[in-house]
């Protein structure tokens, strides 16, 4: 490992033998808890872009988005030649399978695309969708990123997820039965959750579900979200820098080393962010996590071995 945990970059280099770009795409999907299928209003933390605030050209066609994202990424890493298409924001399986096929194929038919990552919800994986994903998985590496955010039903209801933990467990089982790789998303700092609860979220998903990757997010309080009201009413306390670093290290210690860590914090547009403002210094956060792991002389999975 290049660090004391298995990074997403480590996984990609081990799998493909070179650096791979993950290219974010807005395919124009909605969410079932926004359009009334299961609820209205969306998750209380979600912006109008559905977590796609950093996509370069979301209003362009999928092929044009892809080219513009690659050009942007090449400004920093000019030598990369292979890509993973990342259908990122909103719920990218919330549509008939014919629609999914038409939109996904615009990206995955490129000869330089070696994989696809699909961000979605556990309650949006119908049998025909699963079968199409299995078909894709015969052509390239397929990751499905499942937004769970929390294992606690009280928190889930509070943030308007509109599905339960059992739905997540069934979704993982159905994906793994088809050989599809699964990455789960969890958010640290949700209303009412203590550091102990955040660590328990990780312990549960590791123990209960056959996942191959995990994304650990910091809760970003964003302008224009329903959660903004909770903050102003005093029902939400934002994590401090030190608290976040501590809880991430505690979580890493109980994640088996074979599970790749896709993210340990996130990015938020400065103009939309209410807090924590320290999160804008992403590399300082990541460096502090490395330093704390070194200080403890610990590493990912250290407490899985006890």
pLDDT tens, position by position, 229-258: 878 787 789 999 999 999 999 999 999 999
CA angle 272, 199, 176 (to 5 degrees): 90
- Which residues touch 257 (CB under 8 Å, ≥6 apart)? 1, 5, 6, 299, 300, 301, 304
Residues 32 and 50: their CA atoms lie apart, in Å, by: 12
Residue written as tokens 């309080």? 221
Q: How confident is the model at residue 305 (pLDDT cuts 50, 70, 90)?
A: low
pLDDT at 117 over 70: yes
Task: Give just the sign of the alpha carbon dihedral 149, 153, 154, 156.
Answer: positive
Confirm if 268 and 220 have CB atoms less than 8 A apart. Answer: yes
Q: Where are the domains of the chain?
A: 8-296
pLDDT tens digit sequence for 25-76 = 999 898 888 888 888 888 888 876 545 456 667 778 999 999 999 998 888 8
Average pLDDT over residues 88-110: 93
E strands along the chain, which residues? 21-25, 83-87, 113-120, 141-149, 181-188, 213-218, 221-222, 260-263, 273-275
Answer whether CATH 3.80.30.30 is correct for domain 8-296.
yes
Give the 3-state secondary structure of 264-278.
Answer: CCCCCCCCCEEECHH
Task: Return the pLDDT at 49.
Answer: 54
Q: Give the whole-angstrom CA distance, residue 306 versus residue 12.
A: 29
Report the distance separating Cα 108 and Cα 86, nearest Å.
Answer: 10
Rounded to whole angstroms, the Cα distance separating 25 from 251 reads: 29
Q: Report the greatest alpha carbon distance in the chain.
A: 52
Q: Determine the pLDDT at residue 52.
A: 45
Nearest residue to 90 via CA among 117, 121, 133: 121
User: pLDDT tens across 193-209, in order?
Assistant: 999 999 999 999 999 99
Per-residue pLDDT band at 1 (split at 50, 70, 90):
low
């Amino acid at each position: 490992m290049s660090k004391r945990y298995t990074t997403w970059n480590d996984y990609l280099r081990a799998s493909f033998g070179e650096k791979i770009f993950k290219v974010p795409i807005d395919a124009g999907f909605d969410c079932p808890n926004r359009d009334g299928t299961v609820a209205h209003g969306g998750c209380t933390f979600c912006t109008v872009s559905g977590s796609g605030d950093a996509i370069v050209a979301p209003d362009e066609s999928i092929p044009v988005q892809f080219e513009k994202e690659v050009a942007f990424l090449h400004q920093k890493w000019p030598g990369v030649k292979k890509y993973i298409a990342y259908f990122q924001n909103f719920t990218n399986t919330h549509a008939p399978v014919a629609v999914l096929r038409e939109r996904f194929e615009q990206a995955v038919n490129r000869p330089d695309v070696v994989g696809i990552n699909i961000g979605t919800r556990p309650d949006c994986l119908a049998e025909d969708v699963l079968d199409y994903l299995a078909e894709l998985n015969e052509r390239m590496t397929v990751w499905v990123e499942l937004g769970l955010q929390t294992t606690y039903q009280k928190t889930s209801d509070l943030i308007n997820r509109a599905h339960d933990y059992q739905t997540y467990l069934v979704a993982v089982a159905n994906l793994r039965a088809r050989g599809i790789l699964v990455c789960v998303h969890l958010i640290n700092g949700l209303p009412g959750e203590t550091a102990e609860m955040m660590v328990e979220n990780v312990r549960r998903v590791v123990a209960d579900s056959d996942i191959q990757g995990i994304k650990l997010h910091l809760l970003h309080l964003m302008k224009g979200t329903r959660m903004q009201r909770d903050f102003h009413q005093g029902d939400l306390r934002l994590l401090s820098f030190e608290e976040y670093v501590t809880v991430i290290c505690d979580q890493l210690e109980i994640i088996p080393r074979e599970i790749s860590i896709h993210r340990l914090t996130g990015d938020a547009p400065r103009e939309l962010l209410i807090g924590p403002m320290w999160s804008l210094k992403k590399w300082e956060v990541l460096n502090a996590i490395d330093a704390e792991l070194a200080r403890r002389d610990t590493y990912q999975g250290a407490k899985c071995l006890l």
